[in-house]
Structure 1
Amino acid sequence: MNKFILPVSVFGTVCGCAVLVKNYVTGGPCPSKARIPGKTVIITGANTGIGKTTAEELARRGGRIIMGCRDMEKCEDAAREIRGSTLNPHVYARHIDLASLKSIRNFVEKIHKEEERVDILINNAAVMRCPPGKTEDGFDMQFGVNYLGHFLLTNLLLDKLKDSAPSRVINLSSLAHILGEIDLTDLNWDRKKFDTKKAYCQSKLAIVLFTRELARRLEGTGVTVNALHPGVVATELGRHTGMHQSNFSSTTLSPFFYLLIKSPQLGAQPSVYLAVAEELEGVTGRYYDVMKEKEPAAQSLDQEVAVKLWDISASLVGLETSVSAPASPENVTMVKHSQAAVAEGERTRTHPVETVAAS
């Protein structure tokens, strides 16, 4: 038996260290104990994963929680579960499909009618590396759901957020944004060969650009906006990745990945931190890697690209374009190209895939 003591001890030590790294070096619990009674929080993709846990944490802190989800059956079940676990009766399920501009507008219309205020908006929902597909309006699925849908949702809620100031917008991006490239002439992958990994990275880079540009435009309003990478979290988001497509990796390697990948409970802590931390009041336009402020990728600091992306996005979703970017021939051409791509996508779009919580 003695010959097994050393290997078992080493294995136990490695496992213990891995768990410590996972739980603390990569984040740990939110350090803020602040409560938010009377504040209304909207969270997209809140029926599972990070979104659901974020909703539960903020409900426990006294917030009025609006869970925006595509699958209403799952959303109602999750809301019921959270009401029971937190004893907070103010947790509500509302329908929103971020792959549909009409659905987003209907959601916002309902919010304007039913809610007096919106104090915190957490743009959490996402799809990741899914097969080629288009949204209801003809956008690339990852660009449309992860970025454009939240771009429209946030803009339509700005008046409510301003009236409720000080208020906060939190955008879930990803470390993958550092690999992202913004092709302003083909945001929907209609001309070049589709690459699901590059499409995901592009959508997450767009979120960081959007965050910084929105923060600039909201200066002096009392509304802050920040982006975050929650870490590597065990959610349904990665179901289209190679690990989940291979029987070997999903069965043999899963136990080892579990030692290094955070639970949704830990994955939600950065969102909770940015939502409630008193020391972050007034802090805006920043990027957080878990709960530490970091400099985002160099390409996300290009304000000219951010402004052009904003104006193209506004045109695509039917909002007024910005007066901060001159309507140069180059800008006009890019908008026309994007609109033409969307029109073509509407004729060939496929059925949307399910939207799940970000990680």
Structure 2
Amino acid sequence: MGGPGCVTLGKSLNPHCLVLTTFLPWNQYTVWILRREAVSKGVCTSTVQLPGKVVIVTGANTGIGKETAKDLAQRGARVYIACRDLQKGELAASEIRAKTGNQQVLVRKLDLSDTKSIRAFAEAFLAEEKHLHILINNAGVMMCPYSKTADGFEMHMGINYLGHFLLTHLLLERLKESAPSRVVNLSSLAFHLGRIHFYNLHGEKYYNRGLAYCHSKLANVLFTQELSRRLKGTGVTTYSVHPGTVDSDLFRHSLFLKLLVKLFSSFIKTPQEGAQTSLYCALTEGLEPLSGNHFSDCRPAWISSRGRNMTTAMRLWDASCNMLGIQQD
């Protein structure tokens, strides 16, 4: 590897490194990512079957979420595909039913950019189901031009983090009633480059769409740890995951990144490969002592100091409750 701005490509380099460095300043974490993010394809080897279990996967109409839902359906679970586009959701559900033979694959409307939609989804689900065993907060956006959700939240923070924070909160009692149960939050290796700027959570003072993605993924790591702390002894455990660099719709807001992904397609995971760590955290027996941990390639992954700052995690929790109008006990 040469100096800043010079990258030597080899078969071990995952282009997620390149994706990040196209819009992020060079610093120690960028260099760390270039060294760390090698192609590695962990596989979930769990043989656990899920008859009678109820699962929600957000954003399961495409990509990693769809493959996650398919695997869980194959194991006999009753799977809810929670997504904004019902037409795409129904197409995905039909495909999953046909391939798995499981007819208990259901599609429900969920727009994570609108808290009214999130509350409506949760209310309908709780009326429909008496149990919830696995919640996989999979949906996300990346590299959006500056915009806000229906509630005035910056789009990355609103969809990737706050929307899932609210959804989890609304379903938490059902998860406790169904324990042992699990919550899996999709993050990214990019969280190492994130910051939680409480004075600029919604990008109104300054905004970089690449960094906004990183901030939201750091929020998911901190959320996972604080949620785990609060759920201790309830039988509900929670994990954050880095799925790897996956060929999916996540890059739809950047033509350059889409071209970059195609250029280095041989280095990039398929959606099925990208789903493996989510499945590992949702299914692996005996994982409960590692609740709150971050995983990559089906094994625990290192968390930088920002991702382990419990003061920031607790403050972010309180700020999130205030923004979402959640009354704390």
TM-score range (shorter-chain normalised) is: 0.7 to 0.9
Do structure 1's residue 263 and structure 2's residue 263 form an aligned pair?
no
Which of residues 208, 213, 220 is equivalent to 1:195? 208
Residue 81 of structure 2 corresponds to: 67
Tell me which amino acid in the other structure corresponds to 1:259. S
Matches within 5 A, 1:123-202: 123-190=137-204, 192-202=205-215
- Between stretches 31-40 and 110-119, larger displacement belongs to 31-40
TM-score, normalising length from structure 2? 0.86
Larger relative contact order (CA 8 Å, sep ≥ 6): 1
Which of residues 59, 74, 77 is equivalent to 2:91? 77
TM-score, normalising length from structure 1? 0.79
Give me the whole-angstrom Cα distance separating, in 2, the residues matched to 1:204 and 1:18: 22
Residue 50 of structure 2 corresponds to: 36
Deviation digits for residues 212-271 of structure 1 (CA, Å, limit 9, x no counterpart): 0000000000000010000111101012236346xxxx2xx6554111000001111111
Residue 231 of structure 1 corresponds to: 244
Note closer, same or farther for the CA distance 1:254–1:25 as it changes in structure 2 (3 Å cut).
closer
Contact 2:39 2:267 in 1 (8 A): no
Which runs of at least 4 in structure 1 moved beyond 6 Å after TM superposition? none
Contact 1:46 1:55 in 2 (8 A): yes
Q: How much has 1:28 moved relative to structure 2?
A: 4.0
Contact 2:247 2:261 in 1 (8 A): no
Q: Secondary structure at the match of 1:309?
A: helix
- Aligned-residue Cα RMSD (Å) equals 1.8
Do structure 1's residue 212 and structure 2's residue 225 form an aligned pair?
yes
Residue 288 of structure 1 corresponds to: 295
Flag the structure with higher helix content.
1
Residue 5 of structure 1 corresponds to: none
Q: How much has 1:186 moved relative to structure 2?
A: 1.7
Query: How many residues are aligned here?
Result: 297
Give me the whole-angstrom Cα distance separating, in 1, the residues matched to 2:218 and 2:64: 20
Which of residues 58, 62, 65 is equivalent to 1:51? 65
Note closer, same or farther for the CA distance 1:189–1:18 as it changes in structure 2 (3 Å cut).
closer
Q: Secondary structure at the match of 2:200?
A: coil
Contact 1:128 1:237 in 2 (8 A): yes
Q: How much has 1:18 moved relative to structure 2?
A: 8.9
Sequence identity, in percent?
A: 49
Residue 340 of structure 1 corresponds to: none
Give me the whole-angstrom Cα distance separating, in 1, the residues matched to 2:56 and 2:324: 21
Q: Which runs of 5+ in 2 are unaligned?
A: 1-9, 15-37
Structure whose alpha-carbon radius of gyration is higher: 1
Residue 298 of structure 1 corresponds to: 305
Residue 312 of structure 1 corresponds to: 319
Give me the whole-angstrom Cα distance separating, in 1, the residues matched to 2:223 and 2:13: 35
Q: How much has 1:26 moved relative to structure 2?
A: 1.3
Give me the whole-angstrom Cα distance separating, in 1, the residues matched to 2:291 and 2:150: 32
Contact 2:179 2:236 in 1 (8 A): yes
Note closer, same or farther for the CA distance 1:282–1:183 as it changes in structure 2 (3 Å cut).
same
Note closer, same or farther for the CA distance 1:285–1:257 as it changes in structure 2 (3 Å cut).
same
Note closer, same or farther for the CA distance 1:285–1:18 as it changes in structure 2 (3 Å cut).
closer
Q: How much has 1:184 moved relative to structure 2?
A: 0.9
Q: How much has 1:198 moved relative to structure 2?
A: 1.1
Give me the whole-angstrom Cα distance separating, in 2, the residues matched to 1:76 and 1:195: 35
Deviation digits for residues 313-333 of structure 1 (CA, Å, limit 9, x no counterpart): 0011110146xxxxxxxxxxx
